[in-house]
Each structure stands twice: as structure tokens, then as C-alpha cells.
Amino acid sequence: MAWRVPLADIDFGLEEEQAVLRVVRSRWLSMGEETQQFEKEFADFIGAKHALAVTNATAALHMACMAIGLGEGDEVILPSLTFVATANAVRYTGATPIFADIESEDWLTISPASIEKCITAKTRAIMVVHYAGFACDMTAIQEIAKRHNLAVLEDSAHTIGSELNGRKLGTWGAVGCFSFFSNKNMTTGEGGMVTTEDDALAEKLKVLRSHGMTSLSWDRHKGHAWTYDVVDLGYNYRIDELRSAIGRAQLKKVGRFNQRREELTNLYRELLSELAPEVGVPFQAGRGISCHHIMPVLLPPNTDRVKFMEGMKVEGVQTSIHYPPIHHFQNYSRRTEFLRTGLEITEDVGRREVTLPLYPAMQDEDVRIVVSAIQKQIHQME
């Protein structure tokens, strides 16, 4: 369907085309020099000591869980208001996701108070998600983790360039996991990055990314290694040179993309408060600097969300939901080990949240079209 205003759009130009051509002409497609450069440039951008490019953020999350040694009998505390991959990655290792509530309808990230309530003798880690690019309360979460000797992992799929207290999100925990999926602030189609400060974890992650092997095809191509050992049960979570080259081009632009996303978010906030004050706009109080990955709003209580979204569609505006809470999905709700109570704010937000279009190439006029359509829907429903 041809949307008047789509939910998201990529911003590719000549730089990305030239990057792909460069790799095609080099005749080396699997992980090599482009990937090494991409990792170095990403590590510099994020301020991380180690960065390893991978197939996607789901792989990054799985590797992070494996690298800290999660397994059967372990529990990991995470929000239910996130993409299912956050919890699935924990389950791949045999560990159990335990769902905590979010802070409030004004700040949709995991609540430190709720984390405390979820801690048991089996808890091994806290997986935070910086929803929409906005920072979790990392100071409080790190204090809890320290007190209970827990690892902190960061699902940074929504954050590329967000900061808290002058430090980029994704560098606060033991491992940061980034996504370059098509709708993300920078994209390689599918792709991801795993970052860490810890040399031993970096070594583990490197081995896990490629079948547990001690050397890569690239090393052998370069004559640095003739054979290899397999020292762990690893996976093939490698990226390729085409995506790394596109990633390098996108990384150069992401600062500008983020700035434009912020301008558009501010315009949304201004117009919504003027024309549709009934609609809640989270994340208006300050905590850190956001990369404004998505634009979530909360419909007034008891609004028929499907009807609202259908009405927006008639106006040519694509909307989405971030997220149906994970504990409601049948693959989770039918298993008693994941059942949680005390998720009241997640339940409420999960019913009312709608995500509005946001992408760097969006025009101010597009924001006006979206907000007028919202105003119309809200008044029609009154």
C-alpha cells in the first residue's frame, strides 16, 4: 500500500551505492577488512573498547547471554514491553526471562523498583531495553546489580548515539547489543553489533560468533592461520562485507539522522499538545540525550485502538504498536514459568500505545498531516 506518510523509511544515497560497488569489485564478500573497519569506527562512535559486527541484534543478545554463562536454572529480569527477541535470546540459553514492570506512563523503560521485586536466589542478570532510544535509569539499575552481584546486559537495539551522563547507551552494561534492521536509526538491512569493555568477554564473543573456531576464513586468506581448533559451541552469526560497507556509510550520517529525528519529535510534541492534548506523549521529562528511534504516544484510556489505527490508515498514515507485552504472546502465556503479576503499567501502556511515523527524510508537513489525522480520529471517537 502506498502510504501518504509511512511509519519508517531508509535514507540511502550515493555513498551506500558506492560502498556496495566497492565490495563487489573487491571480490571478498565474507567478513574481512570492511567489517574490521566498521567495527573500529562503531567502537569509536559508541566509545566502546570492543565492537563485533554480527548478523542481527537477536544474535548479539544471544551471544551476550552465552558470554556471561547463562543456562538452565538461571533467571534474567527484563521488561515485557519490548520486542520478543529480548526474551527469546534469554530462553535460547535455557535461562528464564522474568518480566518486570516499566517506570510510568511518562517513561516506558524498566522500573528499578520492579526489578528489586523480581530478584530471587536464581537471578543472574538484568537485561535493560532503552525503549525508543531513551535511557533506562542506569544509575539505580547498576546499584541494584552491584548489591545483588548481577550482570547488566543492554538491549540497545533502539539506541545508536543516545547518551546518559556523557556516556553512550550500550556501554553501561557488561555487553551492549545493537540492531541495524531496516527501521533502525542506521541500517544495513539486517545486521547488528555487540560491544564490551571487557577483554575476556570480547574474546568469548568473537569465538561464539563463528562456530567456536579459533580462526576465520579471512585469517587463512591473509596467510595468518592454516588451521583452527573449535573451543566452544558457537554459531554462524557473522555479518558480511556488503552490510559492513553500508554500515560504514550509514554511521557517517547517523548523527545528522538523529538530529532530524529530534527536531521532528519536538514538532510532534508541540502540535500534539496544541491539537490533541488528550493524547499522552511519554519521555518529555529529561534523562540523557535520546536518538529518538520511534515516536510512541498513548491514546486516552478506553479508546478503541484498532479503530483509531484503521482511521489513520484511511488518512494514509501508517502506525504501529510497540509493543504487545511479551507475556501475552501464547508462546509465553501458556508457560507458567513466565507468568508475572505486578505489570500494571505495562498492561495499561500495552493497551494504549500507538507508534507514529518518524524517519529522517520526513518533512515538517508530514508531521502536520499525522497530527491533523490524530485530531480528526480523536474527535470522531468522542
Ligand X SMILES: Cc1ncc(COP(=O)(O)O)c(C=O)c1O
Residue tagged active-site, from 122, 168, 184, 313: 184
Touching ligand X, residues 141-160 (CB under 6 A): 155, 157-158
Which of 8/276 has CB closer to ligand X? Answer: 8
Is 184 annotated in the active site? yes
> Quick count: other Cβ atoms within 10 Å of Cβ 1?
6
Q: Residue 88 Cβ, how far from ligand X at the closest point, in Å? A: 9
State the residue for C-alpha cell 551506500.
Answer: 16
Under the binding rule (CB under 6 A), the answer on residue 195 touching ligand X is no
Residue type, 60: A
End-to-end CA distance of the chain: 29
Q: Residue 278 Cβ, how far from ligand X at the closest point, in Å? A: 28
Determine contact, residues 151/174, Cβ cutoff 8 Å.
yes
Query: Which residue in 138, 149, 170, 128 sits closest to 74, CA to CA?
Result: 149
Q: Residue 358 Cβ, how far from ligand X at the closest point, in Å? A: 14
Kindly tell me which residue out of 48, 85, 119, 202 binds ligand X, with binding defined by CB under 6 A: 85
Range in contact with ligand X (rule: CB under 6 A) among 24-32, 77-85, 271-279, 313-321 = 77-85
Number of residues located near ligand X, criterion CB under 6 A: 14
φ, ψ dihedrals at 194, nearest 5°: -120, 130
159/242 Cα distance (integer angstroms):
22
Under the binding rule (CB under 6 A), the answer on residue 63 touching ligand X is no
Kindly tell me which residue out of 82, 114, 159, 319 binds ligand X, with binding defined by CB under 6 A: 82
> Quick count: other Cβ atoms within 10 Å of Cβ 378?
19
Under the binding rule (CB under 6 A), the answer on residue 294 touching ligand X is no
Q: Grid coordinates in use for 24?
A: 563487489
Query: Three-state DSSP class for 52?
Result: strand
267/275 Cα distance (integer angstroms):
12
Kindly tell me which residue out of 38, 83, 99, 218 binds ligand X, with binding defined by CB under 6 A: 83
Rounded (10°) angle between helices 241-275 and 33-46: 30
146/77 Cα distance (integer angstroms):
15
Kindly tell me which residue out of 123, 159, 179, 375 binds ligand X, with binding defined by CB under 6 A: 179
Query: Three-state DSSP class for 51?
Result: strand
Range in contact with ligand X (rule: CB under 6 A) among 23-31, 51-59, 98-106, 336-344 = 51-59
Which of 358/373 has CB closer to ligand X? Answer: 358
Range in contact with ligand X (rule: CB under 6 A) among 54-62, 238-246, 251-259, 343-351 = 54-62
Determine contact, residues 79/99, Cβ cutoff 8 Å.
yes
Q: Residue 126 Cβ, how far from ligand X at the closest point, in Å? A: 15
Touching ligand X, residues 4-33 (CB under 6 A): none
Kindly tell me which residue out of 35, 56, 96, 210 binds ligand X, with binding defined by CB under 6 A: 56
Q: Residue 347 Cβ, how far from ligand X at the closest point, in Å? A: 19
Determine contact, residues 154/176, Cβ cutoff 8 Å.
yes
Q: Strand 151-155 relative to strand 175-179: parallel, antiparallel, unpaired?
A: parallel
- Residues labelled as active-site residues: 184
Residues near ligand X, by CB under 6 A: 56-58, 82-83, 85-86, 129, 155, 157-158, 179, 181, 192
